[in-house]
């Protein structure tokens, strides 16, 4: 069915981007009466990358959308998040997850393969008929008036002519968002100078003592490594963050990686970690880019266009909340969409006002976490002392995990 042709159909919503954020928005907004049409640039839906962690602020929302059964079949429930020194292997501090997350925050802390989460969202969108889906499609904004927004582009559905008209548009097209330019002046993301090496490791290839089902962060001067289980514990997701120059093709964020470069960048590391990394057959590498923290609601919505997820607030992954914030955005977007007493631009203003400060806080905290993980010299000893003495109270983030 073509919902967005010529005169905007009532409640029509064009969502640009079919990643975790776009699918979450389609699901949440359809449940509140929107008629989303999601367009994705790629010829098929897919998720690159490996694992993601999801805090209770996110799992509670996803379960509320009816995804609990499907997700529980795929996620892992690490019992703790622990920090270790990358050289000595010393345990520096831990945050209990498992039952504590349920008791304190009412929802679990889980780890999951990104493709599994994406598949669960897509399956629900399709099975519930939440949205019309168009692949291999890219659009340009033609005009916006007081009734609707009109776009043209390549790959529009057959029969829709050269343009689509919709009541609203949601930019969920990620870090290199094309829709972002319709809300804020065009500016490329900034290069962080950090590289993320990623791999998935079959735990059966590891000696028994290295098979962990927890989240472990190995911290060291200018480097850190994060390990956690995915795919019901059959695989370990590894992310190694080092300093380095990005490859030229920045927008192509998935690069083949050279193991030797990684070893040089890491330098001396504890034997346990060395053995885990040695078991990896192939690495992929991502140059990390972000944007400065959102500075006000005007950066998240303008007129009939709202931005969501990485399109609005790409962040460093050191608080493990980028996808989480996209999902929180989607929930708020849907709540604001349901304010049928207001015009679409006013609903999007409400959305932006509700979301910008929390997203900015998470962006800032992510940057700070990276700095803390990578401390050197006396500051590093200070951090280790604080973690050993204050442990859980330092590693817990109640304002985040309690939800918006
Ligand atoms: C190393 C690393 C580790 C991470 N770990 C975590 C974690 O543990 N927990 C967590 O919550 N987050 C984590 N993140 C962040 C998370 O991956 C992102 O924040 C999240 O995927 C953003 O989702 P999104 O839907 O906004 O954007 P994307 O996932 O980038 O999706 C955008 C979609 O839009 C499509 N698209 C792009 N341009 C167009 C266009 N012009 N027209 C149509 N479609 C278009 C793309 O093909 C894509 O499908 C991590 C990130 C990295 C790099």
pLDDT digits (tens, 9 = 90+) for 374-387: 999 999 999 999 99
- Provide mean pLDDT across the span 44-61: 90
Spell out the domains of the chain, with CATH numbers in brackets.
Answer: 12-52+114-188+292-368 (3.50.50.60), 70-112+191-290+371-396 (3.30.9.30)
Q: Report whether 228 contacts 214 (CB < 8 A).
A: yes
Q: How much is the average pLDDT of 22-38?
A: 97
Judge whether residue 6 has pLDDT over 70. Answer: no
Which ligand 1 atom is the nearest neighbour of the CA of 17? 34
Q: In this structure, how many other beta carbons lie within 10 angstroms of the beta carbon of residue 4?
A: 29
As to burial, measured by CB atoms within 10 angstroms (0-12 exposed, 13-18 middle, 19+ buried), residue 143 is exposed
pLDDT score of 49: 72
The pLDDT > 90 percentage for the chain reads 84
Asked whether 175 and 288 are in contact (CB, 8 A), the reply is no
Q: Tokens in use for 265?
A: 């960048």
Query: pLDDT: is 49 or 40 the higher one?
Result: 40
pLDDT tier at 9, thresholds 50, 70, 90 = confident
CB atoms within 10 A of CB 230: 24
Other CB atoms within a 10 A radius of the CB of residue 146 amount to 9
The mean of the pLDDT values for the chain is: 93
Classify each residue of 34-46 as buried b or exposed e, where b means 16 or more C-beta atoms within 10 Å of its C-beta. bbbbbbbbeeebe
Helix H or strand E encompassing 122? helix 114-127
Best residue among 322, 326, 373 to mutate for probing ligand 1, ranked by most atoms within 8 Å of CB: 322
Question: Which strand (E) or helix (H) includes residue 13?
Answer: strand 12-16
User: What is the tens place of the pLDDT at every residue in 193-235?
Assistant: 999 999 999 999 998 888 889 999 999 999 999 999 999 999 9
pLDDT on residue 255: 67
Pocket (CB within 6 angstroms of ligand 1): 16-22, 39-42, 52-53, 138, 172-175, 178, 196, 239, 286, 309-311, 317, 320-324, 326
């Amino acid at each position: 069915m073509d919902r967005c042709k010529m005169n905007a159909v009532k409640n029509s919503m064009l969502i640009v981007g079919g990643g975790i954020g776009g699918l979450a928005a389609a699901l949440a907004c359809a449940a509140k009466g929107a008629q989303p049409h999601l367009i994705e640039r790629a010829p098929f839906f897919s998720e690159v990358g490996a694992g993601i962690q999801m805090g209770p602020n996110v799992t509670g929302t996803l379960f509320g959308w009816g995804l609990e059964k499907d997700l529980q079949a795929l996620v892992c429930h690490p019992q703790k998040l622990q920090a270790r020194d990358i050289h000595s292997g010393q345990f520096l501090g831990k945050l209990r997850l498992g039952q504590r997350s349920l008791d304190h925050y009412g929802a679990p802390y889980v780890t999951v393969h990104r493709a599994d989460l994406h598949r669960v969202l897509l399956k629900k969108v399709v099975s519930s008929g939440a949205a019309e889906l168009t692949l291999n499609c890219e659009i340009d904004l033609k005009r916006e008036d007081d009734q609707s927004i009109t776009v043209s582009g390549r790959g529009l559905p057959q029969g829709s002519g050269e343009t689509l008209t919709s009541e609203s548009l949601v930019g969920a097209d990620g870090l290199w968002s094309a829709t972002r330019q319709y809300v804020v002046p065009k500016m490329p993301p900034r290069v962080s100078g950090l590289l993320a090496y990623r791999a998935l490791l079959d735990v059966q290839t590891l000696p028994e003592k290295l098979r962990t089902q927890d989240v472990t962060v190995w911290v060291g001067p200018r480097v850190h490594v994060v390990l956690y289980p995915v795919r019901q514990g059959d695989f370990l997701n590894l992310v190694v963050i080092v300093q380095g120059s990005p490859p030229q093709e920045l927008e192509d964020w998935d690069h083949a990686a050279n193991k030797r470069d990684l070893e040089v960048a890491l330098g001396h590391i504890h034997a346990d970690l060395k053995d885990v990394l040695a078991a990896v057959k192939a690495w992929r590498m991502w140059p990390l880019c972000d944007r400065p923290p959102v500075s006000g609601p005007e950066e998240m919505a303008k007129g009939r266009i709202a931005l969501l997820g990485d399109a609005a607030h790409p962040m460093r992954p050191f608080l493990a909340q980028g996808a989480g914030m996209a999902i929180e955005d989607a929930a708020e977007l849907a709540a604001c969409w349901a304010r049928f007493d207001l015009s679409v631009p006013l609903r999007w203003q409400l959305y932006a006002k509700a979301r910008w400060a929390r997203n900015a806080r998470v962006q800032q905290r992510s940057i700070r976490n990276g700095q803390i993980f990578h401390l050197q010299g006396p500051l590093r000893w200070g951090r280790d002392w604080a973690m050993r003495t204050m442990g859980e109270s330092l590693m817990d983030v109640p304002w985040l995990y309690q939800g918006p």
